[in-house]
Every structure is written in C-alpha cells, then in structure tokens.
A and B are shown apart, each in its own frame.
Chain A
Amino acid sequence: MIRYIISRLVIAFLLLLGLITLSFGLVSLLPGDPAVALLGEYATPADVARINAQLGLDLPFWERYLDYMGRTLRGDLGQSFFTGSPVAAEIWTRLPNTLVYLVPGLILALVIGMASGTFAAYKYGRFADKSFTAGVSVLMAMPEFVLALLLLFIFYQQLHLAPAPLGMLSSADIPPPKVTGAVPIDAVLAGKWDLVASILGRAALPIITMGLFFAAPFGKTVRTGLLQVLNSPQIEFARACGLRPAQVYRYALSDVRGSLMTYMVLLFAASLSGAAIIESVFSWPGVGGWSLDGVLKGDVPVIQGFVLIMGATSLLGYVILDALITLLDPRTRSNAVAGRKRPQRPETAAVSA
C-alpha cells in the first residue's frame, strides 16, 4: 500500500514538473511583448532592452527555463510586472478569500445534486423526474454570470435580502489585525465573529450561485448513474434478498461511487476557473478576479502563478482521487497493494473520455 502511494506521489511530482514547463512555455506562446506592454507603444528600443534585461528576458532560453524551474520549486513565483508585489504572497492572501465561498458552494452543489438526482432516479419517468430534467436543462444552459445576476436581481434588488455585491468586507467592517494576511483566517484567529458573520453574509450569493450552477451537472450524473445501477442484476438480487430500501440505496451508491468521485474532482477543477467570473460579478477579492485582471493586462507572472496554482490543485485532486478509487475497490486494491501490474483506471477514464 505504501509502495503504491509513493508511486502515485512520484507520478504527481513528474506531472508537476510538466505543469511548470507548460506554464513557462505559456509566456512564449502569449501574444505581445511584456516590455512593450509595460512601457506602452512609444517606448524607445533602449528602454525595451533595459526592461528586458531587468526582467531577465534577454537570457538564453535554457537559462531562463532552469532559472524559472528552480525558483518555482522553491515557491518563488516572481513579481507582478505592474504592481511589483510578489505573486506567491498575493495568491496566499487571496486564495482563502476564494475558498470561503468556493468550498461551501461545492458542498452545497453536492448536497443538492445528490438529493435531487437520487429523487429523480427513484421517480424515473414520473412528474418529479421530468421537472428535474427540465430544471437541469435550464440551469445548464445558463452561464454562471447570468445565474449570478439573476440571483442578485431577486435577492438584492427585489427582496433586499442580500448585501450589495461590493466585495467581501463592507466599508463599515474593520479589517482584523494582520496575522496571516488572509482576512477570513485572521478574522477567525482574532475571534471577531461579527466580522466572520459579515463575510459569510456577503458570501451567501456566491455560494448559492456556485451551488446551483454545479448542482445541475452533478445531479444529472447522479441520476444517470443511479438509473443504470437500479436496473442492474446486482440491485435486482439485493431486492430479491429482501434488503431494505436504505440498504439497496447503499449498494447502488457503492457501485456509482467511483464515477461520482471523479465527477466531483472535475467539478472542483472547473469551479476554480469559474471563480474568475463569479468574483468579477461580486467584486470579490479572490484569486479569480485578480488573475482575470492579470490576463487582461498581460501580466505574465500573475498568469503563470494562477495557472500553476490551479493546475497543482487539480493535480493534487486527481492524485488523491486516483488513490482513493483504487484503494476503495477491492478488485483494484489487491493489485495495487501487491504491487503487481499497475491497475487500470476504468472509472476515471470512462468519465474524462
């Protein structure tokens, strides 16, 4: 088992190196010259050369690559071209702001998706199932920002239940004393529960947006998976043995578990990139809006930092998922633990295909 986990970690590390290479290559592929972007259209060649030397862009390719690789592995993601602030520090202070609404949003999506998908599968072909399918189609046809604006219209403009989409803190809120630099964590550390409540109140609409947006595809996956299992000989035999409905449901879940877990990680990866849009709508000071800003300005270290952190997070998610799926299923576990032929990944492959 330990050998298996180590082999996974080695593969993850190799993939990480590939990711860093990709993020390095991204810069060369991007249109536009950073020096020109910084200095404007009318820069003199001397100024451009000076900036290039300052940024290290005049060095040979290999030197730049190895330098970048070394710095990145040490956790140094460079400085923003425009603000000069270190990218790594910026990410560490902003990532908690994103996670404040992202994680609850995803959990909400899982709960709604699981419950409604299960309900629809059990009511297959009836009114409840048909309305579920219709609802999913509507939600899936709706871009994230439309859903966000719709919710703002209803809960902020019409019902006055939600606060204005003006960020994580209101002007009346006093920021907590700086400990980690991440406001939500500092608020908890300082024990300022009114501030925590204020943040959560402002996070409510982003959470609901995320929850509804990702509940639709997840619920659909749950329904499809369960429908297949509920009609399978395995469930028929379980019912023929007189198992209780709750037991039958547990058997059915154990069958779709792998593909649902895979889908959760896919949604998690998708939600990270979707964060940019949500954060723009709600003026949220997270990594998404910040990186979108960087992309629009052509701020290369910011883009690289964002790609790296999102890629690494997804990578971590997939490695954990892969190990979990293999170890949860006795059929693949025995192979993995015995260290024989590397197990196939039927579930992961089936969903991502």
Chain B
Amino acid sequence: MTTRLQVRDLVTEFDTRGGTVRALHGISFEVGQSEAVGIVGESGSGKSTVVRSVIKLLMPPGRVAGGSAVFSGQDLLQLRERDIRSIRGKEIGFIAQNPFSALNPVVRIEKQFANIAKAHGLPVDGASREHALQLLAATGVNEPQRVMHGYAHELSGGMAQRVVIAMALFLNPRLVIADEPTTALDLTVQRQVLDTLRRLTVDSGRSMLIVTHDLGVVAEYCDRVLVMYQGEIVEQGEVSQVFVDPQHPYTVSLLNSVVRPEGDAAPAAELSESWRP
C-alpha cells in the first residue's frame, strides 16, 4: 500500500506569556492510500492540533516548530501560504466539527460551492453546479436543489454536516481530514453520516484521517488507530490488534472506560505512575 501522508517528528508549540508550551512532542504516523486512520485521545491530548498543524491551519500563538508532513512528494510544513492554500480543499478536504459554525450563515450554499471552485481557479458553470448537486445527493441530502438555493440555518444538523462533507469532497481531494465530524450530531444521525463518509472516502479510493474521542467510531470505521496522550502517540497499529491486545496502559484504561450495555465494564484501571510524563 502506498503512503498518502507521512508525518515525521511533528513538534508544535504554543508561545504563551509564561513561556513556550510544547503541545506535540515529535509525532510520527502515516496514512496509506484508501486507508482510514483514527486519532483518539482525551481532550487536550493534541489530536486536533495534529491535523491543524499538518494543513497549516494553526492560529497564532500556535506554531509548528519541527518535523515534516510529506504529501504527494512535498513537505506541507515547508510550503508558503499561497502554495498550501491551493492544496487545501483541492487535494486535502477538511470536515469541521460543527456544521453550523463552519458554514457561512449569510451566503447561499450554492454560492459557497461556487466560491470554493473560484478559489482554485476552476470554472463556475452548469457542470460544477451539477457536480455539487450530485455530491449532495450522494451524501444523502434530501432535495439537493432546494438546499443549494437555501442557507445553512434552514437545515437540520445531519443535513448541514452532509453539506459540509459534500463541500470537502467537491474538488475530489485524495485525503480527507475530519475533526470530530459527528460530535455535534444526534446519536441517530451519527451512524448515517459516518457510513456516508466512509463510503465516499475510503471505499472510493480516498484516504481519511479522522479525529474522534469515540472509540466506537474508530472500531467500526477505521483501519488503523493512533492513541494520543499528552501530545504523544502512545500506541498505534491495526484497529483489530490495538483493541484486542492493547499494549499501553493508557489504551487499556481508554478501552475500559467504554460503557458496555452488559454492565460488565471493568473498573477503570488505575494509570500506573511509571509512564506518566
């Protein structure tokens, strides 16, 4: 399997008044072609920082302090803003956590699609519109025509997130990065959206990097998993292997914290002090 994205020794720091805080301590991982990789970890473990560092969306005071992220032969971290901009949206799609805060509330959906095409110097015409409609239909949006004409606030959460997915896939990217794509959605809708996402990415030859704190999502939709804790990847491997035979105490504790319907959840394992940073 060929590698789509190869991240090596990624170090990200935040400059604060009290000095420099290191958020990522040299992270290395890969995403292969047609592979879904999940990043799990608790809040503040740095999982969102990883994806933002890779596509250079980190806002000051955050900054990448070292490492590389090679995508189709070029190191994204070394690219100038205008060069990375032409990759964002076109080569790498991004799916935001909350569709209502991600979509522009005062611009028609149709116009938002058009703006993406325009940004990459692509024509906005009947064909591009037709393509957007097809994508909306493929993501399971009801009445794509009506949605295209309307605004984000007229949609339900699930529909809005489908629109976001369609926008992320609009220019046919080879890698899709999803930051907690279903956290803001109802439980009943989460599964439908994830099914759609998996079908339109990995099953169509794209790669996917998905950030989540939901182990169930990883178990069902990912091929490999990275477990993050305090800015480091403490364990990574095939989902089947990591979940069945976790090596790291934090992974064990994470797996134990999942509520099981049978009610036989193991008592949350005490983290041994030995491996804490």
Does B147 lie at the interface of the complex (its beta carbon under 8 Å from any beta carbon of A)?
Answer: no
Question: B101 contacts A242, CB within 8 Å?
Answer: no
Question: A240 contacts B153, CB within 8 Å?
Answer: no
Does B105 lie at the interface of the complex (its beta carbon under 8 Å from any beta carbon of A)?
Answer: yes
| Pairs of residues from A and B, 10 with the lowest C-beta to C-beta distance, nearest first | A242-B89, A240-B94, A237-B102, A242-B88, A241-B89, A233-B101, A330-B151, A243-B119, A237-B96, A241-B116
Does A64 lie at the interface of the complex (its beta carbon under 8 Å from any beta carbon of B)?
Answer: no
A234 to B102, CA, bound (A): 4
Q: Mark B134-153, 1 if CB is under 8 A from A, else 0.
A: 00000000000000000101
Chain B residues within 8 Å of A241, by CB: 88-89, 94, 115-116, 119, 167-168
B207 to chain A, nearest CB (A): 16
A25 to chain B, nearest CB (A): 42
Chain A residues within 8 Å of B196, by CB: none
Does B106 lie at the interface of the complex (its beta carbon under 8 Å from any beta carbon of A)?
Answer: yes
Given A124-B60, A331-B105, A331-B151, are A240 and B55 also a contact pair (CB < 8 Å)? yes
Question: B60 contacts A125, CB within 8 Å?
Answer: yes
List, sorted by A's number, 29 A–B pairs whose CB atoms are closer than 8 Å.
A124-B60, A125-B60, A125-B61, A233-B96, A233-B101, A234-B103, A234-B104, A234-B105, A236-B96, A237-B94, A237-B96, A237-B102, A237-B164, A238-B104, A239-B85, A240-B88, A241-B119, A241-B168, A242-B88, A242-B116, A242-B171, A243-B89, A254-B104, A255-B105, A330-B106, A330-B151, A331-B105, A331-B106, A331-B151
Question: A242 contacts B102, CB within 8 Å?
Answer: no
A237 to B120, CA, bound (A): 15
A237 to B100, CA, bound (A): 11
Chain B residues within 8 Å of A230, by CB: 59
Chain A residues within 8 Å of B90, by CB: 242
Does B131 lie at the interface of the complex (its beta carbon under 8 Å from any beta carbon of A)?
Answer: no
A232 to chain B, nearest CB (A): 7
Does B98 lie at the interface of the complex (its beta carbon under 8 Å from any beta carbon of A)?
Answer: yes
Contact of A237 among B60, B103, B118 (CB under 8 A): B103
A interface size (C-beta, 8 A)? 24
What's the interface size class on B, roughly? 20 to 34
Contact of B106 among A242, A247, A329 (CB under 8 A): A329
Name B55's closest neighbour in chain A (CB-CB).
A240
Other than A230-B59, A254-B106, give 19 A-B pairs with Cβ distance below 8 A: A124-B60, A236-B102, A240-B57, A240-B88, A240-B96, A241-B168, A242-B88, A242-B89, A242-B171, A243-B115, A243-B116, A244-B119, A247-B118, A255-B105, A328-B106, A329-B105, A330-B105, A330-B153, A331-B153
A331 to B100, CA, bound (A): 12
A315 to chain B, nearest CB (A): 27
Does A251 lie at the interface of the complex (its beta carbon under 8 Å from any beta carbon of B)?
Answer: yes
Given A125-B60, A125-B61, are A239 and B101 also a contact pair (CB < 8 Å)? no
Contact of B101 among A125, A234, A328, A331 (CB under 8 A): A234
Question: A251 contacts B61, CB within 8 Å?
Answer: no
Chain A residues within 8 Å of B106, by CB: 254-255, 328-331
